[in-house]
């Protein structure tokens, strides 16, 4: 079957099998390998992308179902050579180690900040609770999101770990 969707602002049309998962469509057919795959049961969130502005697990969406919709992946966070604040937050606060969960975490937390510009620690933890990180222990991810929130609000006073004033 043929499917057409908007991915990161571009219209794409491909011939696919009806059973193809969106995560494999993005990775294998479009070469957008920033979106990862980490489980068979929709538990890990490594595959999180946006579908019409909402985070979804792309391993639970058929590529065919995304037809006519708009998909955004981690590759589109950086705009015109400018990193998104959330990307900078993860770098500043060591919100990643192996980097495998990172694209999914970035997409979910960017969406969180869009609807809730100054989330509490609990709200951040809740927002990423459908995702697994095996490296960070989550505290630095929480800090990364708080950093980005403060940066966007222009109220950033706390420094990241080890940062010199």
Partner 1 sequence: MNTGENPPTQFVDNDLKPVGHGRMLRKEDARFIRGKGRFIDDIQLPGMLHLAILRAPIAHGRIVSVDVTLAEAHPKVKLVGTGAMLAEHGLAWMPTLANDVQPVLATDKIHFQWQEVAFVVADDRYAAQDALELIDVEYEQLPVVVNARTALEASAPVIRDDLAGKTDNRCFDWETGDKQATDAVFARAEVVVGQEMVYPRVHPAPLETCGAVANYDPIDGDLTLWSTTQAPHAHRTLYSMVAGLPEHKIRVISPDIGGGFGNKVPIYPGYLCTIVASMLTGAPVKWTEDRFENLTSTAFARDYVMHGEIAATKAGRILAIRTNVLADHGAFNGVAAPTKYPAGFFGVFTGSYDIQAAHCAMTAVYTNKAPGGVAYSCSFRVAEAVYLIERLVDCLADQLGMDPVELRLLNLLKPDQFPYTSMTGWIYDSGDYESTLREALKIADYAGLRREQAEKRASGELMGIGVSVFTEAVGAGPRKDMDILGLGMADGAQLCLYPTGTAVLRVSCQSQGQGHETTFAQIVAEEIGIPPADIKVVHGDTDLSPFGMGTYGSRSTPVSGAAAVLVARKVRDKAHLFAATMLEVTVADLEWRKGSFHVIGDPAKSLTIQQIAKWAYGTGQLPDGVEGGLEAHIHYHPENLTYPNGAYICVVDVDPGTAVVTVRRFIAVDDCGTRINPMIIEGQVHRGLTDGVGMALMEMITFDEDGNCLAASLMDYLLPTALEVPDWETGFTVTPSPHHPIGAKGIGECATVGSPPAIVNAVVDALKPYGLRHADMPLTPSRLWEAMNGNAQPPM
Q: Residue 77 is encoded by which pair of tokens?
A: 């966070």
| C-beta closer to ligand FES: residue 44 or 145 | 44
| 96 counts as binding partner 1 under rule CB under 8 A | yes
CB 76, CB 93: distance < 8 Å: no
Interface with partner 1 (CB under 8 A), residue from 48, 100, 111, 113 = 100
The secondary structure of residue 117, as a DSSP letter, is: S
Q: In what order do the strands lie in the sheet with 10-15?
A: 10-15, 2-7, 70-72, 48-51, 54-57
Distance CA 49, CA 111 (A): 10
Interface with partner 1 (CB under 8 A), residue from 5, 34, 64, 112 = 34
Interface with partner 1 (CB under 8 A), residue from 6, 33, 69, 152 = 33
Candidate ranges 1-9, 63-71, 121-129, 130-138; the one touching ligand FES (CB under 6 A): 130-138
Task: Provide, rounded to whole angstroms, the least separation between the CB of residue 154 and ligand FES.
Answer: 29
Interface with ligand FES (CB under 6 A), residue from 28, 116, 118, 134 = 134
Residue 57 binds which entry of partner 1, ligand FES, none, CB below 5-8 Å type-dependent? ligand FES
Consecutive H or E run containing 2: strand 2-7
Site for ligand FES in 98-127 (CB under 6 A): 98-102
| C-beta closer to ligand FES: residue 57 or 72 | 57
Q: What length does the chain have?
A: 165
Task: Provide, rounded to whole angstroms, the least separation between the CB of residue 105 and ligand FES.
Answer: 7
Alpha helices in the chain (DSSP H): 22-24, 85-92, 102-115, 121-127, 139-153
| C-beta closer to partner 1: residue 5 or 23 | 23
Encode 72-85: b = buried (16+ Cβ within 10 Å), e = exposed.
Answer: bbbbbbeeeeeebb
């Amino acid at each position: 079957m043929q499917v057409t969707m908007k991915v990161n602002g571009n219209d794409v049309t491909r011939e696919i099998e009806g059973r193809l998962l969106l995560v494999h469509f993005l990775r294998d057919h479009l070469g957008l390998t920033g979106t990862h795959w980490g489980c068979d049961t929709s538990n890990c969130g490594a595959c999180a992308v946006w579908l019409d502005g909402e985070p979804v697990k792309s391993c639970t969406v058929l590529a065919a179902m995304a037809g006519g919709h708009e998909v955004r992946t981690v590759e589109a966070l950086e705009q015109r050579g400018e990193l998104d604040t959330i990307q900078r937050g993860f770098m500043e606060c060591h919100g990643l180690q192996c980097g495998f969960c990172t694209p999914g975490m970035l997409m979910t937390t960017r969406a969180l900040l869009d609807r809730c510009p100054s989330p509490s620690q609990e709200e951040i933890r809740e927002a990423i609770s459908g995702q697994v990180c095996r490296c960070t222990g989550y505290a630095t991810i929480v800090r990364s999101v708080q950093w980005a929130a403060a940066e966007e609000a222009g109220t950033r006073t706390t420094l990241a770990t080890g940062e010199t004033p």
